[in-house]
């Protein structure tokens, strides 16, 4: 699933559908760039939750650059500057124990819920949706949930 799918769902459902981003670092030994991306995302969110989503979108658009640590670091810094965020503050926050604690808490929550490490994983009113999924599939799940729970709409 890419950011365009999420954006189409945001546009269609608006405030009726809430996205909460959680980190899951259980596979970070296989994808070390995930740790850096998570730290910089959280640093951006401390300054602006809205701009953190834009940061996330940019990382998703440029995943090919994240495999190279130098390219990833440049992308993180360039994107934060482009978004008008304070780069020095973000750098300090990304290295902080508070940010690491937030990431660790998300990872423990995923493990405690028994969620498999499949990127991405969504919980929609308790229904687990894993992997790249089309907006049409979300529509089907939402239609089924709303037919059982009229309060959703």
In a domain, 109, yes or no: yes
Note the pTM of the prediction, 2 decimals: 0.76
Domain region containing 66: 25-113
Residue 48 has pLDDT above 60, yes or no: yes
In a domain, 93, yes or no: yes
Count structural domains, the chain.
Answer: 1
Q: What is the pLDDT of residues 64-113, one digit of tens each?
A: 888 888 889 999 999 999 999 999 999 999 999 999 999 999 889 888 88
In a domain, 89, yes or no: yes
DSSP letters of the chain? --HHHHHHHHHHHGGGS--------TTTTT-THHHHHHHHHHHHHHH-HHHHHHHHHHHHHTHHHHTSHHHHHHHHHHHHHHTT--HHHHHHHHTSHHHHHHHHHHHHHHHHTT----SSEEEETTEEEESS--HHHHHHHHHHHHHH-GGG-
């Amino acid at each position: 699933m890419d950011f365009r799918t999420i954006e189409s769902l945001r546009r269609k459902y608006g405030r009726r559908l809430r996205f909460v981003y959680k980190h899951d670092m259980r596979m970070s030994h296989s994808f070390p760039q995930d740790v850096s991306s998570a730290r910089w995302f959280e640093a951006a969110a401390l300054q602006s939750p809205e701009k953190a989503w834009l940061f996330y979108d940019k990382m998703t658009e440029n995943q090919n650059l994240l495999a190279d640590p130098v390219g990833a670091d440049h992308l993180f810094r360039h994107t934060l500057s482009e978004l008008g965020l304070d780069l020095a503050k973000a750098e300090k926050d990304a290295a902080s124990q508070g940010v690491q604690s937030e990431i660790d808490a998300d990872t423990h929550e995923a493990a405690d819920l028994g969620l498999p490490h499949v990127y991405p994983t969504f919980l929609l009113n308790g229904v687990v949706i894993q992997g790249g999924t089309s907006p049409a599939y979300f529509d089907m799940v939402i239609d089924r949930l709303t037919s059982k729970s009229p309060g959703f709409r």
